[in-house]
Chains A and B, each alone.
Chain A
């Protein structure tokens, strides 16, 4: 581990130091520089479009190829990614993404296909999607899977639509409430809210489980269902999960599983077997599809047998059985009471589905089980190493992640300061200030891909920062010091919004 503290004047961190900033590509532009050589035209010239569709200038930057390459190489070196270091961002499962996934998703047969091609010409793609549906069913214990949803929250929206369609089909129109624990991801109430449902918050008990008394009191015939993440965002497996599901089913509600934390369960527990009715998968978390740059995600949804008819159309199915050496003919099928399409085409095929398929195929059943076991072991190892330095408010054997408090008795150092200081030790900060039920939360998810050396280095850094918080609090509160940019002014960024947008001069006339 690098010792950052010795290289700094701790009592007076230099905030005025001028940081080297990469100019924008427009600032680098110089009139007349070119990066391409246009070939001579080999088609006849035609007249320009009418005058009113033309503009006098096109303000694009003018640079040589080498300048463009260097500019973006510089920018990319400012970035921190899972390929450069440890990324313990709780609830995001920032595992390493094996490079073989990149090879397979670039195979020409997958790459150069179009979703509107006749099915006879894309049997390989459809076979992959069919097999992935089958694997996800097997992994989760569900009877049907759609691959359409674009990401996790889209999967939630799909799942809630299915729940609503189910109740409606039974003539049960009273149900308007969704029960959501106070430890839930913010997307759960958002997805329910988009559906026009009332969100009823269910508190957690002192062990971090759903408070059964509060749940029982909330369960009545106006409940659509409950959205539950298990293990929850405290990294804890709900000890009363069967009772929770029994209560929700008892009042006629359906049980929605937020699959964000599925990594901890692979090969160990199947949500469908527990009694969940619907669940979305986050292929970009559990199955190593790269994320963190805003996408693309992939949020397939699995459902129990009584909801299969409501799945979005189309699903990939076998439309003609194979024989001996003849493979079956794959195509698209429409569930009987489908909620309709959730996406223009068939999900994030190359970006998500091919990579996740590869990841599952490379691991096999035993490998998937290893993933869950190592993810849980790593999180518990880190928790054990940090327990005496950082308060763990819900201190139990955790699953794939745990939540510590980033505050110390008699110190005004906060979780945010600790997160920023970690960057000086070359670690990506953990999720902070979430879940909301923990003061100054630091939510740490190491994932299975890190070795013991990395985990130890990270624990050492956090223990050192706790020491610094006592001995040199200003050093921590003004961190980071070794990054390209110092501490960002988040308040200014949020309060003084600058919208950059150029409208055509006569926009208002149109």
Chain B
């Protein structure tokens, strides 16, 4: 499981990059969901959103999941190409599969990489 040290994490398995304002779902989450076959980004650039608001809906061969904003702020950009290539979430969850980019984001109470890894390990049982 890949958990980059520079990112922050939510209990609902989203990542947030305080440096760039980008957000997406974690490697752990894509592994649990398995092959992702559909993704729809539910917010648009220019919108101001609160942390915890649904920003995307993802479907895999196993389940469907809502993805929530790890932080609040103004949506500067959304990854429009992702809908055509949902498999990017499996292959590159922290890179090409970013979902939204926030501007002036106010990150709430997020976990660091070590805490998130521990949290994932606890849930494996």
Report the tally of A-B residue pairs with Cβ distances under 8 A: 17
Q: Are B37 and A491 in contact, CB atoms less than 8 angstroms apart?
A: yes
Minimum C-beta distance from B37 to chain A (A): 4
- A46, B38: Cα distance in complex, Å: 54
Known contacts A439-B124, A494-B38, A433 near B62 by CB under 8 Å: yes
Q: Enumerate B12-47 residues with CB–CB distance to A below 8 Å.
A: 35, 37-38
Chain A residues, CB < 8 A from B37: 491, 494-495
Known contacts A439-B124, A495-B37, A495-B87, A490 near B63 by CB under 8 Å: no
B contact residues, range: 10 to 19
- A433, B87: Cα distance in complex, Å: 20
Minimum C-beta distance from A442 to chain B (A): 13
Chain B residues, CB < 8 A from A494: 35, 37-38, 59, 61
- A494, B39: Cα distance in complex, Å: 12
Q: Enumerate A449-508 residues with CB–CB distance to B below 8 Å.
A: 490-491, 494-495
- A490, B59: Cα distance in complex, Å: 13
- A491, B86: Cα distance in complex, Å: 11
- A332, B124: Cα distance in complex, Å: 56
Known contacts A433-B62, A495-B87, A490 near B124 by CB under 8 Å: no
Interface string of B73-92 (1 = CB under 8 A from A): 00000000000001100000
Q: Are A495 and B63 in contact, CB atoms less than 8 angstroms apart?
A: no
Minimum C-beta distance from A420 to chain B (A): 13
Minimum C-beta distance from A493 to chain B (A): 9
Interface string of B38-69 (1 = CB under 8 A from A): 10000000000000000000010111000000
Q: Are B61 and A436 in contact, CB atoms less than 8 angstroms apart?
A: no
A–B Cβ pairs within 8 angstroms, 17 of them: A433-B62, A433-B63, A436-B63, A439-B124, A490-B35, A490-B61, A491-B35, A491-B37, A491-B61, A494-B35, A494-B37, A494-B38, A494-B59, A494-B61, A495-B37, A495-B86, A495-B87
Q: Could you tell me which A residues sit within 8 Å of B by CB distance?
A: 433, 436, 439, 490-491, 494-495
A-B contact sample (4 more), CB < 8 A, given A436-B63, A439-B124 = A433-B63, A494-B37, A494-B61, A495-B87
